[in-house]
Structure 1
Amino acid sequence: MQKPLAGLTRKNVGRELTAGVTLLAIAIPLNIGYAQIAGLPPTAGLYALIVPTIVYALVVSSRQVVASPDAAAAALVASSIGGLAAAGSADYATLALAQAILCGAMFLLLAFFKLGFLANFLSKPILVGFVGGLALDILVSQIAKMLGVKIDSGGEFVDKVVGLVTGLGTTNLISLAISVVAVVILLLGKRFARAIPWALVVLVAATIAVVLADLDDAGVSVLGEVPAGPPALTWPVIDWATWLLLIPSAIALTLVTTAEGLLVSRSYGEKRGYPTSPNRDLFAFGLGNIAAGASGSFAVGSSTSRTAAMDQAGSRTQLPSLVLAVGTLLLLLFGTALLADIPSPAIGAIVGVAILPLLGIRDFAMLWRVDRFEFAIGAVCFLVTLFVGSIPGIVVAFVLALINLAKRAANPAIDVLRGDGEPGDSLLEQAPTGETTAPGVIVVRLAAPLFFANGSVFSDAVKTAIGAAPAGQVHHLVIDMEAVTDIDVTGAEAFESLTRWLTDQQISLAFSRVRPEALARLDSLGLRGDARVYDTNRAALAALAA
């Protein structure tokens, strides 16, 4: 097993510590914003950077992935708990803790049973649509914050938009000015000097401006008093019925985090040449989320943006995450007074700019160019998430994933093969349907497992290929089984019906290039019968054409 802080040496410890300071500057303003998105106090975002971060960093196999709440997770927390309790209330915070603990338990189950593959059902179009819908919902709230317009941030998307539009007349011009300057600095800084923590620069500059000019008296909303002190160990006390109500949203959070987290972990491991373990990463997410729920925070996942920032800073270990945890703890112990005058428009600008890439505009444009069906999947998922809700969005995502899978599986490549030259001496290649491989012989290859989605399709394709040949000239059918890795019961029924049809047509059946496991499956399902089995198509052609 890989040791904690693998990759740390005397040569790189200085660079890792410096990267940790950079991570601290990036994470604190973002987590304050994400906590507000989730409908929780700023401390909930800061607490996530202490115990959960330490636990995750010491257990995970990835040397670079940074664990933290992110914008999509925060929005999912708000949308799923908002209907059960009022945002900002004690009951609401308790539900967020319980939800994080449920996520942790689910991660541990995924790790124990090695079920991380389930996240593969969240294909890119589905993730783009789901996260994009959440991001647009967040963006409306952040725009309202940037303008100084009061809206119900826990309401439905349409209600938020209506509240924003009707409240434009109450825009605070100073808040607007702070937001515009902040956005310009963030965008230009990101383009020309990525190494500088511009979010922290904006936060500090805006706070100084508020303090020096008493802008809060002019109507600029500020963060307000942040309680000092370290996170306290706690446990949510709720009834079983409420635990059950949180399960769907916990499943959604777990799956989205699994899909994104494992992908990020694997990609950076391959990029930087170190091994990763998906199940260990899931285990780390599990412990991290339980730690979050037990220390006053909310669900944590992987932060793609912060991981990328650490990679650009030259970090190759988890030491920056530990520096982040220590720095945040020191801030909570001695520096919370510095947070009270942070202007909300600046927080809104920071979060708004951070989530812009999550809208998936480029991804949707790419999907439109390359595959309209996949674009439609992403668009439907986007609209359902935006207008119906995050939980229906994830349900629709899975249904669409299954439809997409069935659509592709129901139309496998089915090739009719022939020989150029004498049977048995030539290489096989794809030929037009109906051409025989040798006098009286036709070879058909199914490039997929034979199962419920394609059993009848394969049977019809074989009948079409035989029917396309001159009447009475096909006497032998060879099925090339090289790509057939499995056969299910429904596929077997369709195949059995095909064999009866072949018998009625007085056409013999043979198999070639059968995998051992597929041959055993043929025997167990009673499909082999008297059919001969050949090692190669050439051998089948030679034997049957003789």
Structure 2
Amino acid sequence: MQRPLAGLTTRNLATELTAGVTLLAIAIPLNIGYAQIAGLPATAGLYALIVPTVVYALVVSSRQLVASPDAAAAALVASSVGGLAVAGSADYATLALAQAVICGVLFILLAVFKLGFLANFLSKPILVGFVGGLALDIMVSQIAKMLGVSIDSGKEFTGKVADLVSGLGTLNGWSVLISVCSVAVLLAGRAFLRAVPWALVVLVVSTIAVVVSRLDQQGVDVLGEVPAGAPAFTWPMIDWTMWLALVPSAIALTLVTTAEGLLVSRSYAEKHGYPFRANRDLLAFGVANVAAGAQGSFSVGSSTSRTAAMDQAGSRTQLPALVLAVGTLLLLLFGTALLEDIPSPAIGAIVGVAIIPLLGIRDFADLWRKDRFEFLIGATCFLVTLFIGSIPGILVAFVLALINLAKRASNPAIDVLESSGDPGESLLEDAPAGTVTAPGVIVIRLAAPLFFANGAVFTGAVKDAVRSAGDGAVRHLVVDMEAVTDVDITGAESFASLKEWLADHSISLAFSRVRPNTLHRLTALGLLDAEQVYPTNRAALADLTAPAVQRRSTEREGL
């Protein structure tokens, strides 16, 4: 079992501690903003950086992945819980806690039953579309905050846009100035000095400006009082019907976090050569989310941006996460007064700049260039998430994933080589690599499992190949099974009908290079007998098919 803080040595201790301070400077302003996106008080974002962060760091196998609420998770919380309670109310906060607990249980179940592969159904186009839709919805709220315009954050996207447009006459000039300066500093800093925690710089400078100039009296909205003290352990007490109502959104949160979190975790593990254990990472997400629900926070996911920042800072352990937890606890105990005058436009600017990459503009352009169908999948998911809602968005995402899978699976690569029918002529010279044929023989290779989506396609391809060779030209059919890893009932029934058709046309059937598990499956389904399996040798195949053909290919051994 991997020890906690694997990779930590006396040589990298100073680097890891410095990275922890950097992470603290990045995470605090972002988590305050994400808590506001979720419709929760600032403390909900800060509490997520203490107990959930500690338990995650001590359990996870990844040495670098940073766990924290992120923009997509915050938007999902707002859109799902917002339909069940009024944002800012006690019931709303309790539902957010319960949602985090459900997410934790789901993560633990995924780990125990090794079901993390389910997240593979969220392909890149689906993730780009889903997260992009959430990001644009967030962006509208942050723009309103930057302009000093009041909108109803509980509305859908179109309602927020309408509120923003109608409220432009009430925008606050000082808020606009703070926002413009903040965005300029953040973008310039990202371009030229990425190592500097510019989000913290923006918060400090803008807060000083508000206090010195008393801009809060000029209409600039500020964060307000932040309760001091460590997070208290509690448990959400709600009716069982409300627990059930939260399950769909919790599933969506779990799947999105699983897909993104495992992908990022694996990529950094491969990059730096340390072990990656998917189920251990899922378990870590599980205990972190249960901890979040038990101490006043909300759903915890993976933070790609913060993980990248730690990698750039030279961190290769989870020690920065522990530094973050200690620093946040000290802030809550002794420094909450420093947070009260943080201007909301600055928070909006920080969050807005942070989520720009989540809009997926470059990803959509890349999809458009490479595959229009995959672009259509991403765009559909984006529009459904944006205009209908996050839960319908994730449902549509899975439907589109299945459609995409079925589309590709129903058109497998089928390699067909048929003879000319001339008993004295061999087509060996024209054979593709790995295929040998002889007069009267057709060799067909199916490069996919044989199942319900492609069974009819395969049998149709075989019949077309036989017919195109001419009446009576084909006497033997050999099916190369090297790439066939499985056969389901529907595929077996299609193949059984093909066997009958071949028998009616006096064509013998044999199989080559059958995998052991597939051989067992074919036998159990009654599709072959032992004598129907060719030896994996070309000379043997030549002897079985046509004595006139004695050539052997030197391209590869075995049929």
TM-score (norm 2): 0.95
Alignment deviations for residues 349-394 of structure 1 (CA, whole Å, 9 cap, x no partner): 0000000000000000000000000000000000000000000000
The CA deviation at 1:416 is 1.1
Q: For residues 184 and 537 of structure 1, what CA distance do their matches in structure 2 show?
A: 69
* Paired position in structure 1 for 2:122: 122
Alignment deviations for residues 27-49 of structure 1 (CA, whole Å, 9 cap, x no partner): 00000000000000000000000
Summarize the alignment of residues 231-250 of structure 1 with structure 2, pairs less than 5 Å apart.
Answer: 231-250=231-250
Q: Which amino acid aligns with 1:488?
A: D
Summarize the alignment of residues 487-506 of structure 1 with structure 2, pairs less than 5 Å apart.
Answer: 487-506=487-506
* Paired position in structure 2 for 1:545: 546
Question: Which of 425, 429, 432 is the aligned partner of 1:429?
Answer: 432
Q: Which residues of structure 1 form unaligned runs of 5+? A: none
* Alignment pair present for 1:293 and 2:293: yes
Q: Which amino acid aligns with 1:267?
A: S
* Paired position in structure 1 for 2:526: 526
Q: For residues 508 and 261 of structure 1, what CA distance do their matches in structure 2 show?
A: 52
CA contact (8 A) 1:182 1:346 kept: yes
The CA deviation at 1:439 is 1.2
* Paired position in structure 1 for 2:202: 202
Q: For residues 437 and 467 of structure 1, what CA distance do their matches in structure 2 show?
A: 17
* Paired position in structure 2 for 1:80: 80
Q: For residues 3 and 23 of structure 2, what CA distance do their matches in structure 1 show?
A: 22
Q: For residues 381 and 282 of structure 2, what CA distance do their matches in structure 1 show?
A: 25
* Alignment pair present for 1:461 and 2:461: yes
CA contact (8 A) 2:441 2:476 kept: yes
Q: Aligned with 2:295: secondary structure?
A: coil
Q: For residues 485 and 156 of structure 1, what CA distance do their matches in structure 2 show?
A: 46
Alignment deviations for residues 85-114 of structure 1 (CA, whole Å, 9 cap, x no partner): 000000000000000000000000000000
The CA deviation at 1:417 is 3.0
Q: Aligned with 1:72: secondary structure?
A: helix
CA contact (8 A) 1:478 1:540 kept: no
CA contact (8 A) 1:64 1:315 kept: yes
The CA deviation at 1:446 is 0.4
Structure 1 pair 497–288 and aligned structure 2 pair: CA distance change class (3 A): same
CA contact (8 A) 1:418 1:436 kept: no
* Paired position in structure 1 for 2:46: 46
Q: Which amino acid aligns with 1:545?
A: A
Q: For residues 84 and 530 of structure 1, what CA distance do their matches in structure 2 show?
A: 62
The CA deviation at 1:536 is 2.8
Q: Aligned with 1:429: secondary structure?
A: coil
The CA deviation at 1:544 is 1.8
Summarize the alignment of residues 83-482 of structure 1 with structure 2, pairs less than 5 Å apart.
Answer: 83-417=83-417, 428-429=431-432, 437-482=437-482
* Paired position in structure 2 for 1:33: 33
Q: Aligned with 1:222: secondary structure?
A: coil
Q: For residues 530 and 154 of structure 2, what CA distance do their matches in structure 1 show?
A: 68
Q: For residues 181 and 4 of structure 1, what CA distance do their matches in structure 2 show?
A: 42
CA RMSD across the alignment: 1.7
Q: Which amino acid aligns with 1:470?
A: G
The CA deviation at 1:430 is 6.7
Structure 1 pair 422–196 and aligned structure 2 pair: CA distance change class (3 A): farther
Structure 1 pair 509–286 and aligned structure 2 pair: CA distance change class (3 A): same
Q: For residues 428 and 418 of structure 1, what CA distance do their matches in structure 2 show?
A: 9
Q: For residues 418 and 466 of structure 1, what CA distance do their matches in structure 2 show?
A: 8
Q: Which residues of structure 2 form unaligned runs of 5+? A: 548-559
Q: For residues 28 and 123 of structure 1, what CA distance do their matches in structure 2 show?
A: 31
Alignment size in residue pairs: 543
Q: Which amino acid aligns with 1:220?
A: V
Q: For residues 511 and 426 of structure 1, what CA distance do their matches in structure 2 show?
A: 22
Alignment deviations for residues 222-279 of structure 1 (CA, whole Å, 9 cap, x no partner): 0000000000000000011000000000000000000011111111011111112100
TM-score (norm 1): 0.97
